[in-house]
Amino acid sequence: MKVLTLIPIVLTIASASVAGKTNTIYADVQVTNLAPTNGFIWERANKNIPKYPVELARSGTIGCAVLSFNISGSGKTENIEVINSLPKKSLGKQSLKMLKKWEWVPTSTVANSVPEKRTLRFDFCMGGESIEQAQNACEQQTKLACG
């Protein structure tokens, strides 16, 4: 399994805690290519880091989603299908929202206008006392089945 992106995200959510301090929630999202694992025809045009969805963070939702989709010959994300989503359907919905916004560029001039089928796994992880601990938790989570 080849990791497409390791995305560290730190969320700070204010709450009524002891002495009025703000709780910091460390979160990480990892996107892993399941198929194909290499030899990509297309890569993401915008390398901006997808954000951990605020509604998932507020509810403390962690887990994974596997999505299959096509990249059209013009670089658009099409025919997205949520294959698995654990533990809630909300992870699949949020992953789908992220993926719909992505645009793709060919990895070479030869690849232009050639469609590609892809399958990605999105892992949403939170916790620990640092972003490193959240990332480590996510790396461990990617080794578990998502379905």
pLDDT at 21: 54
User: Can you give the residue range of the structural domain that contains 29?
Assistant: 2-141
Instruction: With H, G, I as helix, E, B as strand and everything else as coil, classify residue 12.
Output: strand
Q: How far apart are CA 31 and CA 121, in angstroms?
A: 6
| CATH number of the domain within which 100 lies | 3.30.2420.10
Is residue 79, in this structure, part of any structural domain at all? yes
Is residue 75, in this structure, part of any structural domain at all? yes
- Cα Rg for the chain, rounded, in angstroms? 16
pLDDT at 73: 87
Is residue 96, in this structure, part of any structural domain at all? yes
pLDDT at 4: 43
Is residue 147, in this structure, part of any structural domain at all? no
Task: Please tell me the total count of domains within the chain.
Answer: 1
Degrees to nearest 5, angle at CA 102 with 100 and 107: 135
Q: How far apart are CA 133 and CA 38, in angstroms?
A: 28
For the chain, list residues with pLDDT below 50. Answer: 1-19
Q: How far apart are CA 122 and CA 127, in angstroms?
A: 17
pLDDT at 17: 37
Degrees to nearest 5, angle at CA 31 with 37 and 53: 160
Q: How far apart are CA 62 and CA 48, in angstroms?
A: 21
pLDDT at 16: 32
Residue type, 71: I
Is residue 41, in this structure, part of any structural domain at all? yes
